[in-house]
Structure 1
Amino acid sequence: MRCVPLEQAAEKVSDQSSIPPLIFQLPPEEGRLKLEEAQSTPVCMYPATTEGFRVDTGKWGVIKVYCIIPKCLVDTPNVIFYIHGAGWVFGSLHTHKKLVHELAARTNSIVVFPEYSRSPEAKYPTAIEQCYTTLCCLPQIISMLSLSCKADFSTLTVAGDSVGGNMATVMTILSKFRNGPKIHKQVLFYPVTNACFNTDSYYEFAVDYYLYREGMMWFWDQYTTSEEDRNEITASPLRATTEQLAGLPPAIILNGEADVLRSEGEAYARKLRCAGVEVTAVRFQAIIHDFVMLNALDETNATRAAMDSSTEWINRKNQGE
């Protein structure tokens, strides 16, 4: 019996994910396949077209970058730069297709989706540098699309889930210190913000709530085992000073109640607020990690409310409110 009751669909996913071997106990390639298969189940999908490119990020290598264009696109679309989660090890456009299609359609946005090099094959900071280089190339990438209108880069949003939320907020930090692209806002779904496993939520939800404490420790080990790396603010943004975070774009941070990452996600919201950043922070009850991404949880109350909240927030900001 779990101490925190979950929505029925989340209970089912948690039960299924607790059957050995756990996903983090598999070799990376097998774990990737397991998530790809889980995300192949039928789900309601907003219609969109996808165009793909190869982007050369210099010494960091060549990666695939996809642009998701909603069928209902109207003049002067917005741009969302979306970085996927799944522990730096798993995840792809396929696993996040449902999520990014909905973001694109409900915000009149072109979603640019880099498939960065995953760990353990690629170590920190490879994925971050690949994503940042791609972010800097957005005008050139968008110009190659088959569009009859120009995109509005003045409303640029960076977004991501889990470790993708980590890297999305890191994009804002790098842009600040490298005088990079002007980012208008950031959308962070249950972000990883600190290489620390001793928070209240890490202990309360250590097992049997889909994402295990041991699993998150394993994901970090695949990314980097170096304490020096983990202490960098581009790995653990929660460790940034308020001075380093000052001037970052407005953020909305959405966390699930029954998630080992909840404490650090909410702590990051407080840290940004202390730095003078405009922050909206929401906790959705009775739900587990990955809830906006997983097809099986698409119709949960938490996912529907989170998608309503995030897209409405993006639209308000795009309109200058």
Structure 2
Amino acid sequence: MTSTADTSFDSQQYRQPVMERTTKELLDEFNHSDIPAMETVSPAEAREMMTDAQSSVPFNLPPADVLEKTITVEGHEIPLVIVRPSQAKDVLPGFMFFHGGGWVIGDFATHERFVRELVSQSGAVAVFVDYERSPEARYPVALNQVYAATQWVAAHGDQIGVDGNRLSVVGNSAGGNLAAAVALRCLLEEGPTIRQQVLFWPVTDVRFDTASYAQFHEGYFLTRAMMRWFWDHYTTDESERGSIWASPLRASLDQLQGLPPTLIQTAEFDVLRDEGEAYARKLGEAGVDVVCMRVNGLTHDFGNSNALCQVPAIQSAVRMAAQEIRRHLK
């Protein structure tokens, strides 16, 4: 093997993002397909699009015991899906899981593999909250439901084999937004004690003008137009959009102080990257123990993508998150 340096090497070339190869293949195929832009179809059609995308590729489901339970809080029914480590009989720590999809699309089926991965690798029980989606139920319905479900599990977790005193909140994308808001409500409204929050590529602010929005606004799965569409279905009221419950990045340092240890993961090729990382910096300034991990080469929602679940970088990121959940719920 020669030790001679590559004289054609351009150091500037690798200061720009380089996409992971399997992700690039999938993205090229998507961008050259006749799949309509999500913001041009109805919410019902958008939901079918996500279901089709997640079910169109072969993948394995990690073993787990899955059961459904509906709770009633203040006269309102909230469906839950309980995902336990396979054949585990003891009361175990748990994490609330709030799914992504811009508050509009997504459900347990589109997130089941991802949730099972986290359960099998963390040893904790996932409580998946099947909240009502927008536009049928607009802000703050979903937030109120996931918060009520968290309160219920903290108080009555023994009914589903969960230790309500050892509880994390976890969510991806818009679900990360809900997880951040629930953690804030638990703190500011003296609700349940949350051991940890895990925010996967979260929505943290209703702005579309960050550097990552400018760089990746089109052609990288999640677009600026799609995010505007999601937000418009969630709420068009400016005071609601700017509240800390919808835009947690706007919480003051005093409001953030006292939040539990936090893990935030972001994707390099993602419009939401900068607002997720900004939230991590603000949490750190408020004295919160925070780990922020950007995964280079990947696009939005990488951990939940069934088509990409064999990518080594994605497997490592999911494993790291599960280990953090395990560590904080000891």
> TM-score normalised by the shorter chain: which range applies?
over 0.9
Give the TM-score normalised by the residue count of structure 1: 0.93
Percent of aligned positions with the same letter in both sequences? 38
The question of 1:96 aligning with 2:111 is answered yes
2:120 alignment partner AA: A
Counterpart residue number, 1:270: 281
CA distance in 2, matches of 1:243, 1:140: 27
Superposed displacement of residue 55, structure 1: 2.4
Superposed displacement of residue 76, structure 1: 4.0
The question of 1:205 aligning with 2:220 is answered no
Counterpart residue number, 1:37: 52
Counterpart of 2:213 in 1: which secondary structure?
Answer: helix
CA distance in 1, matches of 2:94, 2:153: 9
Counterpart residue number, 1:47: 63
Of 26, 31, 39, 2:41 maps to 26
- Return 5+ residue gaps in structure 1 as ranges: none
- Conserved? CA contact 1:9–1:296, under 8 Å: no
**Greater Cα offset, 130-139 or 221-230:** 130-139
Q: Deviations over 1:94-149 (max 9, x none)?
A: 0000011111111111110011010111110000001111111115664444xxxx
Counterpart of 1:171 in 2: which secondary structure?
Answer: helix
Counterpart residue number, 1:121: 136
Of 226, 232, 248, 1:221 maps to 232
CA distance in 1, matches of 2:149, 2:162: 16
Counterpart residue number, 2:149: 134
Counterpart of 1:188 in 2: which secondary structure?
Answer: strand
Superposed displacement of residue 72, structure 1: 5.0
Give the TM-score normalised by the residue count of structure 2: 0.90
- Equivalent residues in 2 for 1:1-321 (5 A)? 4-18=17-31, 19=33, 20-40=35-55, 41-58=57-74, 61-71=76-86, 73=88, 75-139=90-154, 142-145=157-160, 151-319=162-330
CA distance in 2, matches of 1:198, 1:87: 18
2:318 alignment partner AA: M
State the superposition RMSD in angstroms.
Answer: 1.6
Counterpart of 2:303 in 1: which secondary structure?
Answer: coil
Number of residue-to-residue matches in the alignment: 312
Q: Deviations over 1:198-222 (max 9, x none)?
A: 0000010011111001111111111
- Conserved? CA contact 1:15–1:208, under 8 Å: no
Q: Deviations over 1:6-35 (max 9, x none)?
A: 112212332344344112221111110111
- Conserved? CA contact 1:72–1:105, under 8 Å: no
CA distance in 1, matches of 2:199, 2:28: 26
Aligned structure 1 segments of 4 or more residues deviating by more than 4 angstroms: none
Superposed displacement of residue 299, structure 1: 1.2
- Conserved? CA contact 1:201–1:262, under 8 Å: yes
1:154 alignment partner AA: N
